[in-house]
Structure 1
Amino acid sequence: MTDQSMRGYLSQLATSGALHRVKRRTDPKFEIGAVLALKDRGPAILFEETGSLPVVGNLLVSRARFALGLNVEPDRLDDLCIRALSHPVKPVITGSGPVQEVVQSGDIDLKASLPVPTWFERETAPYITAGVIIAKDPETGRRNVSIARLRLEGGGRIMAGIAKNHHLNLLAEKAKALGKRLPIAVAIGNHPAVLLGSQLYLGLGDDEFDNIGGMLGEPLRLVKCKTVDLEVPAEAEIVLEGELYPDEQIEEGPVSEFHGFYVSYGAGMGGCIACITRRQDAIYQAVLPGYASEHCLLGGIAIGATLRQALQRMIPAVRRVLITEGGMGRLHAIISMHKPRLGEGKRAAMLAMGQVNLLKLVTVVDDDIDIENPREVEWALAARFRGHEDLMVVEGVKADRCDPVHEDLTVTKIAMIATTHPGDGEPLSRSEFVSAPRDVLARVAAELDQY
């Protein structure tokens, strides 16, 4: 069996020199967040002395780090996600797992048991940010796996900040209509595949654990919870078991979002944790929220993979989709296409905006452009974009509440089509890069270290 734990990935990081251990006492209130922010693009950081459990953060701050955790080359990361979507592998239930080595129930005090960071100055309490939440549809029994911020309210009490269109909220509303509460389990300290898989844009009723198995190339091993009818990753570090109270609203106040600003969404949903299970030597995982690399990439990589799959079904010329970090991992996309026909670039941009509500700036380029290289994308705009015919501006489009500049939940959406046009292939055209003969380039590239 392969290692399906976070700590196996930590070992990989340590071997490659990408894990830094902080041995001085570090306060979860603001100090841990400040360190993670100031070392955002650096090594993963393990805070060994926090007053309770160790805390680890900044694990997945680059596409290369995701690729390392998923055991693929960086240029194959998107392909792995697509394979996971098209070739799911159902999980298996095991009798036991290290996440249940310690069981704590009864009088739960989350602040005393876990080193949950308080992140930003105007936020009013600590937030769990890397908790993968498992719930089931109270009508169908189908599983849902996602991440939502959870604020500690004292004792075992929590508040869940969930968008209205979030599947978890829809399940809570179903439970409310049935006069019930919604059982949840929150897994903290997960393999990178579990974190990334929880962010895939799937349909309500699709089980993200199936696609996580597709990423792993084997079934994800689960254990049954102790107090709720749910299953959780057997090799996670910590699991919280409890319920959401759909009829209980708790005012949240200012909270950070992926764009790096404070927002006020109004009331969140109340809930309570009644049981904690964990490893004997558990490590608490935290994801720095706001405009931070790991937060942006977790959403961006998952959105890009599901969007690419959707677009390729409609337009086979689509090759890749990148949701950019500069666009906060949510708002900006770059689409590469192979010899698009006249009008196909605009069609791809419109379909992308329709598929992902958050997108508001889409750039389309040819597949000779490396879409992960901003210099090449800007070159395509300079060399191939004709403003009078390749710019699309659509005003008054429904937006997500997260968009930092929405007005009455609408925004203006823009697309720029920076591709060669059919007929641009004649000599001295913009469709052909200058270069030495291909055979000479290939030979020199293979022997480059000898020059």
Structure 2
Amino acid sequence: MADQSFRGTLERLAEWGELHTVEREVDLRFELGAVLGLRQHDKPQLFAKVAGHEMKVAGNVMNSRERIARLLDTDRAGLPGRILDALRRQIPPVTIETAPVQEVVHHAPLDLAALLPVPTWFEHETGPYITAGVIVARDPETGRRNVSIARLRLDGGGRVMVGIARNHHLNLLAEKAKSLGQRLPIAVAIGNHPAVLLGSQMYLGLGDDEYDVVGGLLGEPLQLVRCLTVPLEVPAGAEIVLEGFIDAGDLVPEGSVSEFHGFYVNYGPGTGGAIGCVTHRRDAVYQAILPGYAPEHCLLGAVAIEAVCCEALKRVIPAVRRVVVTDGGMGRLHAVIAMHRPRPGEGKRAAILAMGQINLFKLVIVVEDDVDPEDAAEVEWSLAARFRGDEDLIVLPGMKADRCDPVHQSMTVTKIGLIATTRPGDGERESRSEFARAPAEVLARVRAELGEY
């Protein structure tokens, strides 16, 4: 099998000359996060000296589409197809007996803040947050697995607070456990292969196993290892694993916390829990994802959301080719749909279906597939050349919003669709004009020999 470890990912980045090692000592309280925030799309960062800790910290690992694609052994153009193939050709995981992630074992009582280099990110947040922890749980009735990411605040000793929306699957499982008089066992894997992180973000149905999608991304089964104290399995290539539980009946105040749009929000209480066992590699590297409006945080959600939405749309509208969730839309709220020769009305249908499929979407632009939906200038060109405000504008006031939307009122928002598929021509709505260009054979020859001119 291929190397499914996080350290293997770091080694590949170093071989490519794309890993920057920070030798200067950094403070976990705000300083480390500030470096990641200011370096944005720059090389991934490996902090070799973290004040008060021996573990190194890595961040900004998946902070561009090009880098995500390369780490999944494809290129930027091939990334959407690679993810769609993983959704369609899922591969179940396999369990192995031992893994380096269990080389060192710590049992309760624990001091997580002393054991792990967990950053405090922003001025008004109330504590240090684990942000790249892949949380594994099981439905207490069906036994079906759920794999996701949620923020975990360290609350002293082995105590944690998990910030999860009420409709998220992890919360639904915790609530189900509560109704049965139980606490929900969880395992948190930190330092994961990019396929694990990306797979954990897929919008699947409750009961669908995200590990199967990870296998599709890897092209082989994901290797798992059994936890020591909870009945769960975690990626064998992880660096660190926390084993414990969360309790839906234990509501813990959170206060201000950052969100993907870059603002502070106050969602009310989070879900309390505790960690009773920590395992890790002897020379473990802690992985951190800068939260808020930051490239890696926004892209991880965007790349997963657009793939799931595209797959859903293509089932009912074959003309759909791509869905792109934009950087400016915070990787959540704005989308561009590319369609091939859409019939009259299909663009509007696609926009409305996308808003229904992904509740976060509130601005959807539909273009034709001769436009690169990732190129903001080409999308704007399409609006200038093909959009008629009196016919191609959809305004849907009072639509249900996600709690994350920064401008929602009473959980509603106005959603907008812009259908930029009308072409200039002989005046007929469905006419398709031809771009002015040299003959195709000449263009192809010159493109192939352009360096010789």
Which TM-score band (shorter chain)? over 0.9
Counterpart selection for 2:394 from 392, 395, 415: 392
Secondary structure of the equivalent of 2:155? strand
Which residue in 2 is equivalent to 1:31?
Answer: 31
Which residue in 2 is equivalent to 1:44?
Answer: 44
Contact 1:384/1:430 (<8 A) preserved: no
**Match status 1:17 vs 2:14:** no
Q: CA deviation at 1:68?
A: 1.1
Distance in 2 (CA, whole Å) between partners of 1:360 and 1:106 is 46
Alpha-carbon spacing, 1:424–1:152, altered in 2? closer, same or farther (3 Å): farther
TM-score (norm 1): 0.98
Q: CA deviation at 1:314?
A: 0.5
Which AA in structure 2 matches 1:296? C
Q: CA deviation at 1:423?
A: 7.6
Distance in 2 (CA, whole Å) between partners of 1:300 and 1:205 is 22
Alpha-carbon deviations, 1:274-307, whole Å to 9, x = none? 0000011100000000000000000000000000
Which residue in 1 is equivalent to 2:318?
Answer: 316
Contact 1:175/1:182 (<8 A) preserved: yes
Which residue in 1 is equivalent to 2:8?
Answer: 8
Secondary structure of the equivalent of 1:353? helix
| Number of residue pairs the alignment of both structures matches | 449
Q: CA deviation at 1:4?
A: 0.2
Which AA in structure 2 matches 1:373? D
Distance in 1 (CA, whole Å) between partners of 2:276 and 2:433 is 63
RMSD, aligned CA: 1.2
Q: CA deviation at 1:433?
A: 1.9
Identity of aligned residues (%): 66
Which residue in 2 is equivalent to 1:353?
Answer: 355
Counterpart selection for 2:445 from 438, 443, 447: 443
Alpha-carbon deviations, 1:220-245, whole Å to 9, x = none? 00000000000000010000000001
Alpha-carbon deviations, 1:18-76, whole Å to 9, x = none? 11001111011100000000001100000011131110000011100101111112111
Secondary structure of the equivalent of 2:78? helix
Distance in 1 (CA, whole Å) between partners of 2:129 and 2:249 is 21
Secondary structure of the equivalent of 2:171? helix
Unaligned runs of 5+ in 1: none
Which residue in 1 is equivalent to 2:368?
Answer: 366
Q: CA deviation at 1:424?
A: 6.2
Contact 2:325/2:332 (<8 A) preserved: yes
Which AA in structure 2 matches 1:331? L
Which residue in 2 is equivalent to 1:138?
Answer: 140
TM-score (norm 2): 0.98
Distance in 2 (CA, whole Å) between partners of 1:232 and 1:443 is 52
Which residue in 1 is equivalent to 2:253?
Answer: 251
Q: CA deviation at 1:111?
A: 0.2
Counterpart selection for 2:331 from 329, 332, 336: 329
Which residue in 1 is equivalent to 2:187?
Answer: 185
Distance in 2 (CA, whole Å) between partners of 1:31 and 1:125 is 14
* Aligned 1:207-222 pairs, distance under 5 A: 207-222=209-224
Which AA in structure 2 matches 1:83? D
Contact 1:383/1:430 (<8 A) preserved: no
Distance in 2 (CA, whole Å) between partners of 1:163 and 1:285 is 23
Which AA in structure 1 matches 2:347? G
Which AA in structure 2 matches 1:43? K
Which AA in structure 1 matches 2:86? A
Deviates more, 1:44-53 or 1:313-322: 44-53
Alpha-carbon deviations, 1:149-195, whole Å to 9, x = none? 00000000000000011000000000000000000000000000000
Q: CA deviation at 1:7?
A: 1.4
Alpha-carbon deviations, 1:392-445, whole Å to 9, x = none? 00000010000000000000000000003698698xx77322111110000001
Contact 2:425/2:432 (<8 A) preserved: no
Secondary structure of the equivalent of 1:9? helix
Contact 2:189/2:239 (<8 A) preserved: yes
Secondary structure of the equivalent of 2:24? strand
Contact 1:101/1:279 (<8 A) preserved: yes
Which residue in 2 is equivalent to 1:106?
Answer: 108
